[in-house]
Amino acid sequence: MKLPFYINNFLSETGSISRFITRFFGQLFHPRYEIRQFIRQCYLIGCLSFPLIAITGFIMGLVLTMQLRPSLIAYGVESQLPIMVSLAIVREIGPVITALIFAGKISSGIGAELGSMKVTEQIDAMEVSGTNPFKYLVVTRVLATTLMLPLLTVLSDVISLYGSYLGVNIKGHTSLQLYFFQVFHTLQFSDVLPALIKTVFFGFAIGIIGCYKGYNSSKGTEGVGRSANAAVVISSLFIFIIDLVTVQITDILGLN
């Protein structure tokens, strides 16, 4: 059975990503636990991404509000603006935009970092120095992205909603209290929780793809660049695939 090159390539890539994920879970629950490194990665991945995510979140909320306003006015439901914007932000735009920005910043960063470590034998050096590089580099990073992205999304959502509040106030007027009352009155657990849960998977995908690409980087500086690039592309694609799957699952569970 001879498969065309690209199908063969795709399948072998899928297979090795699955194997990489299995390896991740295998290593995750066995000591030793690299807690210091994990905390450091949380700082590097979470805190240092916050400004970027805050800015994009703010702009997203503001722009979305200003874009939606004319059509809502046309239908005479301008007062529904906070409701529509908050639903859009919390359910879809917040998680996905945050994840994409995060993938752009973190997945490529991890891909390039691990790639160059691989190429310059730092990963081997770690192994020789009595450290399981998979635990030290991969597990900590993947855990950090998995846990930090939901946090970033929550903060980004709130900042987006504040941006949207300002957007409402550019041409209309509403008090912050009334705005947030409307928003929280509209939002339900079925809006927030699936969105939050999917960000966990987004974070995991971003981390694992970045690490996979970096860890399996081919020799040479070109390989490092390619890893970083592929990490962003594949993890962005994964975000949308996960998004698609989540929307179907929540639909089946009747949470939509």
Partner 1 sequence: MQSESNISIIDTQEPVIKITGLKKGFGNRVVLDGFNLELKRGESVVVLGRSGSGKSVLIKCVIGLYKADEGEIFVLGKKISELDYEGMDKIRANVGFLFQSNALYDSMTVRENLEFPMRRHLKNISPEDVEKRIIETLTHVGLAHTIEMMPSELSGGMQKRIALARTLVLNPEIILYDEPTTGLDPVTGKEISTLMTETQRLYNTSSIIISHDMKCVQRTADRIAVLVDGVCYAIGTYNELERSNDEKVKQFFE
Partner 2 sequence: MANKTGENVTLGFFVAAGVVVLIVSLYLIGKNQSMFGSTFHLRARFENVNGLMAGNNIRFSGIQAGTVNKITVIDDTTIEVDLLIEKEMKPFIRDNALVNIGNEGLMGNKVINIIPSRYPGGIITEGALLLSKSTPYPDDMMQTLSLTNDNVEVLSGDLVSTVRRINESKVLWQILNDTTLSEGLRVSMSNLREATVNINNLSASLNSVISDARAGKGTAGALIADDSVATHLKQAISNINNASKESLEVLTKLDSIVSQTQTDLSHGNGIANALLKDPLMVDKVNASIENIQKGTTSFQESMEALKHNFLIRGYFKKQEKKKSKAKK
DSSP conformation letters of 84-119: HHHHHIIIIIHHHHHHHHHIIIIIHHHHHHHHHHHH
Fill in the per-residue mask, 185 to 224: x = in contact with partner 1 (CB under 8 A), - = not in contact: ----------------------------------------
From the list 131, 190, 216, 229, which residue makes contact with partner 2 (rule: CB under 8 A)? 190
CA 196 from chain centre, in angstroms, equals 11
Q: Which of 31, 51, 76, 130 binds partner 2 (CB under 8 A)?
A: 76
- We find the least distance from the C-beta atom of residue 39 to partner 1, in angstroms, to be 15
Per CB under 8 A, the segment of 45-53, 59-67, 128-136, 206-214 that binds partner 2 is 45-53
Q: Does 151 bind partner 2 (CB under 8 A)?
A: yes
Q: Quick one: tokens of 22? A: 């299995």
CB 106 within 8 A of CB 142: no
Tell which residue, 199, 238, 219, has the closest CA to residue 17.
Answer: 238
- What's the closest the beta carbon of residue 78 comes to partner 2, in angstroms? 12
Per-residue burial over 110-123, b if 16 or more Cβ lie within 10 Å, else e, is bbbbbbbbbbeebb
Distance between CA 112 and CA 104 in Å, rounded?
A: 12
Complex with partner 2: residue 5 or 75, whichever CB lies closer: 75
User: Does position 10 bind partner 2 by CB under 8 A?
Assistant: no
Contact between 42 and partner 2 (CB under 8 A)?
A: yes
- Residue 80 CB, shortest distance to partner 2, in Å, is 9
Amino acid, single-letter form, for residue 222: E
DSSP structural state of residue 172: S
Number of residues engaging partner 2 in binding (CB under 8 A):
26
**Is residue 121 part of the contact set for partner 1 (CB under 8 A)?**
yes
3-state DSSP assignment of residue 146 = helix
Structure tokens at 85: 């914007």
Taking the complex as a whole, the smallest distance from the CB of residue 49 to partner 1 amounts, in Å, to 17
- Interacting residue with partner 2 among 59, 155, 233, 249 (CB under 8 A): 155
Cβ closer to partner 2: 33 or 162? 162
Asked if residues 251 and 230 have their Cβ atoms less than 8 Å apart, the reply is no
Contact criterion met (CB below 8 Å) for 24 and 208: yes
Sites of contact with partner 1 (CB under 8 A): 116-117, 119-122, 124-132
Sites of contact with partner 2 (CB under 8 A): 39-40, 42-43, 46-47, 50, 74-77, 150-152, 154-155, 158, 184-185, 187-190, 192, 196, 254
